[in-house]
Amino acid sequence: MTAISPHASVSAPASEARTSGRVFNFGAGPSTLPDDVLKQIQQDVWNYRGSGIGILELSHRGKEYDKLIAEIDDDLRAIGNIPRNYKILFMTGGATSQNYIVPANLLPPGGTADHIVTGYWAENTLADARQYASCSNTKATIHVAATSADKNHSYIPADADIKYSASQGRGGPTYVHITSNNTIYGTQWHRLPKIPEGAFLVSDACSDFFWKPIDVTKFGVIYGGAQKNMGTTGCSFIVIRDDILERANKDIPRMLQYGVFSREESRPNTPPTFAIYTVGLMAKWIKAQGGLAALEKLNREKAGLVYAALDANTGFYTPHVRKEDRSFMNITFACKGVGAKEGGGGMEMDARFLADAGKAGLAVLKGHRAMGHGGGMRASLYNAMPLAGAQALAEFIGDFAKKNG
Ligand code: PMP
Does any ligand 1 atom lie closer than 6 A to the CB of residue 123? no
Enter the pTM of the model: 0.94
Round to whole Å and give the CA distance between 289 and 156: 31
Cα-to-centroid distance, 405 and ligand 1 (Å): 35
- The kind and range of the H/E element at 203 are strand 200-204
**10-residue block means of pLDDT along the chain (405 residues)?**
44 54 96 97 98 98 98 98 98 98 95 97 98 86 97 97 80 94 98 96 98 98 97 97 97 97 98 98 98 98 98 94 97 78 69 97 95 91 98 98 93
Cα-to-centroid distance, 351 and ligand 1 (Å): 25
Give the alpha-carbon dihedral of 362, 364, 365, 366, to 10 degrees. 150
Residue nearest to atom 12 of ligand 1 (CA): 95
Give the pLDDT of residue 114: 97
Give the pLDDT of residue 372: 81
Q: Which residues are catalytic?
A: 121, 204, 228
Cβ neighbours of residue 97 under 8 Å, at least 6 residues apart? 91, 236
Contact present, 120 and 28 (Cβ < 8 Å): no
State which ligand 1 atom lies nearest to the alpha carbon of 180: 3
Cβ neighbours of residue 26 under 8 Å, at least 6 residues apart? 32, 362, 363, 364, 365, 378, 379, 380, 381, 385, 389, 393
* Burial letters 190-213, b for 16+ CB under 10 A, else e: eebbebbeebbbbbbbbbbbbbbe
Contact present, 175 and 113 (Cβ < 8 Å): yes
Give the pLDDT of residue 385: 98
Contact present, 292 and 79 (Cβ < 8 Å): yes
- The kind and range of the H/E element at 182 are strand 181-182
Give the pLDDT of residue 343: 47
Give the pLDDT of residue 2: 42
Does any ligand 1 atom lie closer than 6 A to the CB of residue 206? yes
Contact present, 280 and 68 (Cβ < 8 Å): yes
Burial group, residue 70, by CB count within 10 angstroms (0-12, 13-18, 19+): exposed
Q: How many helices (H) and strands (E) does the chain have?
A: 11, 14
Give the pLDDT of residue 345: 56
Cα-to-centroid distance, 290 and ligand 1 (Å): 27
Round to whole Å and give the CA distance between 194 and 339: 45
Give the pLDDT of residue 296: 98
Round to whole Å and give the CA distance between 286 and 247: 33
| Pocket mutation for ligand 1, best pick of 31, 183, 371, 378 (most atoms within 8 Å of C-beta) | 183
